[in-house]
């Protein structure tokens, strides 16, 4: 347990066990490896409050022990480096999952969706929302910018629907899967965060509102993409996104 790299070597090269000394022969390496998964999972229990659905889906899919056993050497390195904060653990686990999960498999993709969804909520909660711009003051000359801390993810499902299904004991395989885009941002209320599903136009605006282009210029950009939209019509969409907290308006001082 104290040397997960050695354990991994034993698992991959059983012949190396004998080289470790007489006391090591007869060790049930597979069982020990599984136990290292449990130990690592338990040591990451503090993330459960941030990733409740992720942990639950990992358990339901039978992936959790294998995942944490494979992750154990990295977790051990992190621990030895003194990086024990929740955010450090979460960042390391996310990075590992990004490599380890085979996202062509529907259940792995579901885990990847949920861990990004829940970890983003955790991150965005730490962001203090600024004072929202006045939507009524938005015009075609306004310069929208993505609000501080706004994050968007392309997912294969709606996490809220997944949460309901999981709580109701439904079959994970029955979750409708399709490309969906969601954005997350802090709200002025503090504890609440905003979680918004975006359509194609909203995706475009959140992606291109960089604080340098006016609404009119964004409409021109759209036109270059083959979409005709009057700047005044785009103002309504920008207003909706400002109201949702995803965009702000740059104060040009004009």
Q: Which residues bind another protein (CB under 8 A)?
A: 1, 31, 35, 38-39, 42-43, 45, 48-50, 52-53, 55-56, 59-60, 84, 118, 121-122, 125, 158-160, 163-164, 167-169, 191-202, 223, 226-229, 233, 236-237, 240, 244
Specify the 3-state DSSP secondary structure of 139.
coil
CA triple 12-15-18, angle to 5 deg: 125
CA–CA dist 116, 98 (Å, integer)? 10
CA–CA dist 3, 27 (Å, integer)? 15
Measured from the CB of residue 19, what is the shortest distance to another protein in angstroms? Answer: 21
Closer by beta carbon to another protein, 67 or else 183: 183
Closer by beta carbon to another protein, 62 or else 252: 62
Measured from the CB of residue 49, what is the shortest distance to another protein in angstroms? Answer: 4
Measured from the CB of residue 151, what is the shortest distance to another protein in angstroms? Answer: 13
Closer by beta carbon to another protein, 142 or else 158: 158
- C-alpha distances in angstroms, 93 versus 5, 49, 83, 101, 230? 17, 15, 12, 11, 45
Measured from the CB of residue 213, what is the shortest distance to another protein in angstroms? Answer: 18
Question: What is the Cα gyration radius of the chain?
Answer: 23
Q: Work out whether strand 247-249 and strand 151-155 pair parallel, antiparallel, or are unpaired.
A: unpaired
Helix H or strand E segment including 181: strand 180-186
Measured from the CB of residue 143, what is the shortest distance to another protein in angstroms? Answer: 20
Closer by beta carbon to another protein, 100 or else 122: 122
């Amino acid at each position: 347990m104290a040397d997960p790299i050695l354990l991994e070597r034993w698992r991959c090269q059983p012949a190396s066990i004998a080289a470790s000394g007489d006391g090591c022969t007869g060790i049930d390496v597979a069982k020990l490896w599984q136990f290292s998964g449990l130990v690592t999972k338990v040591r990451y229990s503090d993330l459960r409050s941030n990733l409740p659905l992720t942990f639950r889906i990992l358990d339901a899919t039978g992936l959790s022990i294998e995942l944490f056993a494979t992750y154990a050497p990295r977790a051990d390195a992190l621990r030895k480096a003194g990086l024990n904060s929740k955010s450090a653990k979460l960042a390391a686990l996310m990075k590992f999952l990004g490599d380890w999960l085979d996202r062509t498999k529907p259940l792995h993709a579901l885990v990847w969706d949920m861990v990004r969804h829940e970890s983003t909520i955790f991150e965005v909660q730490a962001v203090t929302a600024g004072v929202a711009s006045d939507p009524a003051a938005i015009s075609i000359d306004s310069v929208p910018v993505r609000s501080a801390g706004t994050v968007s993810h392309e997912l294969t499902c709606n996490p809220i629907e997944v949460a309901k299904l999981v709580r109701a004991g439904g079959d994970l395989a029955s979750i409708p899967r399709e490309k969906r885009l969601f954005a997350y941002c802090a709200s002025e209320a503090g504890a609440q965060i905003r979680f918004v599903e975006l359509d194609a136009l909203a995706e475009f605006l959140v992606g291109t509102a960089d604080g340098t282009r006016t609404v009119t210029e964004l409409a021109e950009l759209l036109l270059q993409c083959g979409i005709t939209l009057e700047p005044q019509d785009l103002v309504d969409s920008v207003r909706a996104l400002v109201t949702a907290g995803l965009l702000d308006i740059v104060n040009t001082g004009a």
